[in-house]
Amino acid sequence: MKGGYTLNSITQLLDLEDNEVIISDISIQGNTKTLTIETVPSAHFCPSCGYKMHSRGVKNRTINHPILQDNFSLVL
């Protein structure tokens, strides 16, 4: 358990498998807790033409869910 959250809670909330997720960093600044979560890269293909699609990089997500409320704003 890192940062007061079980990995199981986070994976259920984000609909991910446990073996796909790595929590690589946790930082707290004021009332904002930032978790850096990584997944194993996998190839994705366009359902129409079959062309291999590429990632557009890392994006921040803000989660507001009762399971994660401990007086912090959570950024994933």
Q: How far is residue 25's CA from residue 2's CA, in Å, rounded to a whole number?
A: 9
pTM attached to this predicted model: 0.48
Q: How far is residue 54's CA from residue 42's CA, in Å, rounded to a whole number?
A: 10
Q: What is the pLDDT along the chain (76 residues), one digit of tens a residue?
A: 444 455 566 666 666 665 667 778 888 888 777 778 777 777 888 889 999 988 776 667 766 665 555 666 666 5
pLDDT digits (tens, 9 = 90+) for 8-19: 666 666 666 656
Q: Where are the domains of the chain?
A: 7-75
